């Protein structure tokens, strides 16, 4: 089969609306930042579309396109990749391209016809099962006594579920032979702190100890009352400033959810000092870099306050991720939740590896912060650990 014919055939198969899922992989260049692209059908406002999930080195991006637009997209993708694995209802197709685009097309009939699932609109299965009554959610006012998630609390419910999914994914990085110590910095009303305690201790039966820390005395007192009422014995809440926090000497996981401005950086710095195995942090508002940014080359963007604010937030999270990499963490910036729920939708995930950075990595970082005229709080905190 010729290369062009292969693309037409693949497009024709996808146009039949029998696609279950497909993966386009094997980059032609190893250095390609885009590693693979997954395709699946979705229904959006009644229209059949294809959702593309672009897996980059550090992030995932999504795009929904019509079948008509797919053929141009496939042309572009085959300039970058040499392999396709596509499952259709009745057959599974494997395509391998040589460097010169010689095509190897293999197709196997499925033994049973599978059902297409346009799962964009499927009811979400939450880790905290919303068909059950959870006493802590009732007590926190998220759920009614008869188990309904209150409408005005639904966004928070989605956020804590998503966060718990990330925690669940990171369990392999945590110790199995002793108590896992977890800190939630800037815990506030502590929806997340209670949720993670409930999920890990009550549902999974793990040996954990959880501390929530916040500046607000009354809020912390109320959280301690709730923990006592629920008999959550290994959950404690303390009043204090992250920056002065010395009560723990060894912490395995540090989490933050919307800790204001540089409070996120304080938490990241604390976590690094403890060599915490796992850091999961969803930053909040960002003012530090926004104040420092004076870069003529960026003025077309930064003349607009809104764009400047977003740019500063994105650059700050990139700087945070890079600093964590430079001090021995495998770090990724991931989509936390959809923009409709909250625009604060980046999660920093860092797993401790102890891997030393290269001097090029450090140079690249220095160039970036110099260009932005940035003086990051976190860099200052980690100065002695940087190469
Ligand atoms: C936006 S709230 C988020 C609360 C909670 N994590 C949540 O997502 O529901 C931010 C919290 O961080 C706390 N905070 C800010 N700076 C802090 C600091 N330096 N030390 C401790 N807590 C801090 C605030 O008091 C506030 O409760």
pLDDT tens for each residue of the chain, 387 residues long: 899 999 999 999 999 888 999 999 999 998 888 999 999 998 777 788 999 988 887 777 788 899 999 999 999 999 999 999 999 988 999 999 999 999 999 998 877 777 777 755 455 678 888 878 899 999 999 999 888 899 999 989 999 999 999 999 999 999 999 999 999 999 999 999 999 999 999 989 999 999 999 999 999 999 999 999 999 999 999 999 999 998 888 999 999 999 988 999 999 999 999 999 999 999 998 889 999 998 999 999 999 999 999 999 999 999 999 999 999 999 999 999 877 667 778 999 999 999 999 999 999 999 999 999 999 999 999 999 996
3-state secondary structure of 13: helix
pLDDT score for 124: 65
Cα distance between residue 54 and residue 51, in whole Å: 10
For the CA of 184, the nearest atom of ligand 1: 6
For residues 45 and 198, give the distance between their C-alpha atoms in angstroms, rounded to a whole number: 36
Distance 268 CA to ligand 1 centre (A): 14
pLDDT at residue 290, rounded to an integer: 93
Distance 262 CA to ligand 1 centre (A): 11
For domain 135-385, say whether CATH 3.40.50.150 is its number: yes
CA 260 to chain centre: 19
pLDDT of 146:
87
Residue 341: the pLDDT is 66
Place of tokens 């008999």: 231
Nearest CA to ligand 1 atom 24: 186
Q: Specify the DSSP class assigned to residue 241.
A: -
Which whole-number Å values give the CA distances from 208 to 240, 246, 267, 379, in the listed order? 22, 19, 20, 31
In DSSP terms, 23 is beta-bridged to 38, 85
Supply φ then ψ for residue 263, to 5 degrees: -60, -35
- Measured at the alpha carbon of residue 211, what is the angle toward residues 207 and 214, in degrees to the nearest 5? 165
Looking at the CA of residue 284, tell me the nearest atom of ligand 1.
1
Q: Is the CB of 239 under 6 A from ligand 1?
A: no
From ligand 1's centre to the CA of 299, what distance in Å? 32
State the burial class of residue 161 (Cβ atoms within 10 Å of its Cβ: 0-12, 13-18, 19+): buried
91 phi-psi bin (left φ>0, alpha ψ -120 to 50, beta other): beta
Res 121: pLDDT: 47
The ligand 1 atom at the shortest distance from the C-alpha of residue 159 is 8
Residue bearing the CA closest to ligand 1, atom 16: 263
Look at residue 385 and give its three-state secondary structure: helix
Atom nearest to 156 CA in ligand 1: 9
Position 338 scores a pLDDT of 77
3-state secondary structure 325-378: HHCCEEEEEEECCCCCCCCCCEEEEEEECCCCCCHHHHHHHHHHHHHHCCCCHH
What is the whole-number distance in angstroms between the Cα of residue 83 and the centre of ligand 1? 47
**H or E, element range at 384:** none
Tokens of 180: 């896992």
Which DSSP symbol is given to 149?
B
- Do residues 42 and 122 make contact, with C-beta atoms less than 8 angstroms apart? no
Q: Is the CB of 241 under 6 A from ligand 1?
A: yes
Cβ–Cβ contacts within 10 Å for residue 19, how many?
A: 21
Work out the end-to-end distance of the chain between its first and last CA atoms, rounded to an integer number of angstroms.
53
Tokens describing residue 206: 């793990």
Closest CA to 227 of 250, 214, 211, 249: 211
Q: Give SS3 for 184.
A: strand
- For the chain, counts of helices (H) and of strands (E): 12, 14
Instruction: Report how far ligand 1's centroid is from the alpha carbon of 259 (Å).
Output: 5
Which are the contacts of 11, defined by CB distance < 8 A and separation ≥ 6? 70, 71, 74
Question: Does the beta carbon of 259 lie inside 6 Å of ligand 1?
Answer: yes
| Number of the ligand 1 atom closest to the C-alpha atom of 191 | 9
Residue ranges of the domains in the chain?
3-121, 135-385
Q: Using CA atoms, how far apart are residues 103 and 97, in angstroms rounded to an integer?
A: 5
């Amino acid at each position: 089969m010729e290369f062009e014919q292969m693309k037409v055939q693949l497009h024709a198969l996808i146009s039949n609306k029998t696609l279950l899922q497909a993966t386009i992989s094997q980059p032609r260049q190893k250095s390609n930042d885009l590693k693979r692209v997954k395709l699946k059908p979705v229904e959006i406002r009644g229209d059949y579309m294809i959702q593309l999930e672009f897996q980059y080195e550090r992030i995932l991006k999504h795009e929904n396109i019509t079948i008509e637009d797919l053929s141009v997209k496939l042309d572009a993708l085959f300039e970058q990749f040499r392999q396709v694995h596509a499952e259709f209802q009745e057959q599974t197709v494997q395509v391998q391209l040589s460097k010169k685009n010689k095509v190897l097309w293999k197709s196997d009939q499925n033994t049973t016809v599978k059902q297409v699932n346009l799962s964009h609109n499927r009811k979400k299965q939450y880790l905290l099962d919303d068909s059950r009554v959870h006493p802590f959610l009732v007590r926190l006012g998220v759920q009614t006594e008869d188990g309904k998630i209150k409408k005005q609390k639904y966004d928070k419910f989605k956020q804590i579920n998503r966060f718990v999914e990330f925690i669940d994914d990171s369990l392999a990085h945590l110790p199995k032979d002793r108590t896992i110590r977890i800190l939630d910095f800037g815990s506030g009303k502590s929806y997340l702190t209670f949720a993670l305690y409930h999920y890990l201790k009550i549902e999974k039966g793990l040996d954990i100890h959880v501390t929530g820390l916040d500046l607000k005395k009354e809020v912390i007192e109320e959280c301690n009352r709730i923990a006592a009422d629920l008999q959550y014995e290994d959950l404690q809440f303390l009043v204090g400033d992250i920056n002065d926090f010395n009560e723990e000497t060894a912490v395995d996981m540090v989490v933050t959810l919307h800790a204001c401005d540089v409070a996120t950086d304080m938490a990241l710095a604390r976590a690094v000092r403890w060599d915490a195995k796992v850091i999961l942090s969803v930053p909040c508002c960002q003012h530090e870099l926004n104040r420092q940014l004076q870069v003529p080359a960026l003025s077309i963007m930064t003349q607009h306050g809104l764009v400047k604010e977003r740019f500063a937030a994105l650059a700050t999270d990139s700087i945070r991720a890079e600093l964590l990499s430079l001090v021995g963490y495998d770090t990724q910036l991931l989509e936390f939740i959809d923009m409709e729920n909250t625009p604060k939708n980046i999660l920093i995930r860092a797993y401790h590896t102890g891997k030393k950075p290269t001097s090029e990595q450090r140079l690249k970082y220095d160039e970036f912060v110099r260009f932005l005229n940035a003086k990051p709080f976190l860099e200052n905190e980690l100065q002695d650990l940087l190469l």
